[in-house]
Structure 1
Amino acid sequence: MYHAHLAARPELAGRRSLFVDLPGHGTSDRPQDFGYTLEDHADAVAAALDAAKVAGAELIAHSMGGAVAVVLAHRRPDLVSRLVLTEANLDASPPPTAGSSGIAAYGEDEFVEGGHARVLEAVGPLWAATMRLADPRALHRSAVGLRKGSEPVMRTLLEGLPVDRVFLQGEHSGELPGREDLEAAGVRVVTVPGAGHNVMFDNPDAFVAAVTGTG
């Protein structure tokens, strides 16, 4: 839960926060018969929101979770009033340097039997700490689903959504591809100084300002 440490910030007082680990990740169930596509994950989050009797939520999501949030907003517009996305995956077939690409390059059984351990050794400590909580098979299937993307692709879905949309890009991650087109579609793109992929840890003040609409 990458955002839990921010829930007690005074700027967010009065907001109801619901933290959701995707199936197979964190403390969520690890169903072996779950598809782990972006659509499957989006439907699972929708079920959680329905169970909590939430509608018109502000979805705050990171990386693959951002891709899931975009698909959810497209499939269930009644559940979403705003999106705050941190370096969300917007395109199918992410570059080879992306973590999901490295995972999806393995066969599923190959990843479960040894690739998972090798990936844990290769990634940074923060990502490794969260990956250790994920079921290896679920992690691989999710990476394959992310590489496949949605139809239409997430970028196209995001550009067409009628809700308020904010996209946070860490300064150290470089220029966001397609930024001008996103902004032309009404997406507010914010480059966060001093931050990389994990903006909520690298610059929490800027992150909270984006959530509250003050930054």
Structure 2
Amino acid sequence: MRSAPVTAGDDRIRWVELPGREPTRVYVHGLGATSPAYFTRAAADPRLAGHRSLLIDLLGHGHSDRPTDFDYSLESHADALATALRYAGVGDAEVIAHGMGGSVAIVPAARHAGLVSRLVLIDSDLAPVTPDAAAIGSGGIAAYGEREFLDGGWEAVRDRAGAHWWATMRLTGREALHRSATHLARGTSPTMRELLMRLEVPRTYLFPAVDGPPSGAEALAGSGVRVVPVPDCGHNIMLDNPEAFVRATAEALAVTVPQPDRTG
């Protein structure tokens, strides 16, 4: 376990680090999750192992600190992540990120030159969603005001989340969970999809085949993003079908993707 200070108050992001060769691979979890629980099996698979690998927990989540004075916007998460990676001496990282983690990872790839060399997104949110208290995920959490959520709304979220997600969600600071979900539901401006399409690093988007392609898949492909279905899985691709996830991720990290000509 290693850590880096990422705020003026010395709040720390923590990660599990596996030694190996460069380029460094950075695994980033989704909303209410923790990277070691979601990515250890994949990172240790012989097809992905051998690189220096950071299984990192975003601020407010997992083993990282849970400051209550942090806004937990996607941009703030991204800047804190960038600070931690620079502290760890990471550059040109290959980032593998799930759900909200992918939405966060797009931002440092766009804002911090030289930090990210390749991006693998796993069923990540690319556009705003409408808050809905009956929904599972960021939209359901964002339907509550912060005070309402802290005063008991989180219990309804816990019950809808189920035992598996709650096992890691309960480690997340409640302010962190609500603010992260609210900002994820709002998205960024430009949207995460627009930022992703503008990036000039190799990019792959993995999605559950049963759900069909993400909205705007043709435009993503036209901008050079590989849009790849993964069979026999739901949102938690790396847990539901680890064999297919490792195979798809290893291929994404190995291929050279021609980038569109942006000069004309």
Which amino acid is the alignment partner of residue 245 of structure 2? F
Deviations 1:143-181 (A, max 9, x none): 111122111110000011000001000123333111111
Which residue of 199, 224, 227 maps to 1:161? 199
What is the letter of the counterpart of residue 113 of structure 1? D
Question: Which amino acid in structure 1 is aligned with residue 127 of structure 2?
Answer: D
Say whether 1:4 aligns with 2:35.
no
Who is 1:62 aligned against? 98
Please, what TM-score do these two structures have when normalized by structure 1? 0.95
1:194-205 correspondence to structure 2 within 5 Å: 194-205=232-243
- In 2: Cα distance, 1:137 partner to 1:161 partner: 31
Q: Which moved more, 1:146-155 or 1:81-90?
A: 146-155
Once the two structures are superposed, what CA deviation does each residue of 1:35-55 show, in whole Å capped at 9, x if it has no partner?
A: 100000001110110011000
Q: Which has the higher helix share?
A: 1
* Higher RCO, Cα 8 Å, sep 6+: 1
Instruction: Tell me, yes or no, if structure 1 residue 124 matches structure 2 residue 162.
Output: yes
Aligned pairs, number: 215
The one of 65, 68, 93 equivalent to 1:32 is 68
Quote the offset at 1:121 in angstroms: 0.7
The structure carrying a bigger strand percent of its residues is: 2
In the alignment, the residues of structure 2 paired with residue 30 and residue 13 of structure 1 have an alpha-carbon distance, to the nearest angstrom, of 30
Identity, % of aligned pairs? 53
SS of residue matched to 1:25: coil
**Which structure's CA Rg is the greater one?**
2
Structure 2 partner of 1:23: 59
Show structure 2 runs of 5+ residues with no match: 1-34, 256-264
RMSD of equivalent CA atoms: 1.5
C-alpha contact 1:168 1:189 (8 A) present in aligned 2: yes
Unpaired runs of 5+ in structure 1? none
